[in-house]
Amino acid sequence: MPVDVLRRLAIRGDHLQLLSAGSAALSLGLWVRAKTVDQAERGNAERRAIFVGLWSPTLWLVGDSLRADE
């Protein structure tokens, strides 16, 4: 059923896999930026980078299932 919804929205597996790569790049960028902030805000910045990094495998697997269904 979720695959049908994504198809109706014209989202292909390639789109989600590209978003996955973008999420990994954004996570790395946030992690590098976290090293430049002061110590009081560093923990929050690192948690943000980890949170964004968790999107990557999820988007990749959903994109992979869409590609298998195509």
pLDDT digits (tens, 9 = 90+) for 6-62: 788 888 888 999 999 999 999 999 999 998 888 888 889 999 999 999 999 999 998
> How many separate domains does the chain show?
1
> Which letter, b or e, does each residue of 4-15 get, where b requires 16 or more Cβ atoms within 10 Å of its Cβ?
eebeeeebebee
Nearby residues of 52 by Cβ (< 8 Å), 6 or more positions away:
23, 26, 27, 30
**What is the extent of the structural domain holding 33?**
2-69
Considering the entire predicted model, what is its pTM?
Answer: 0.79
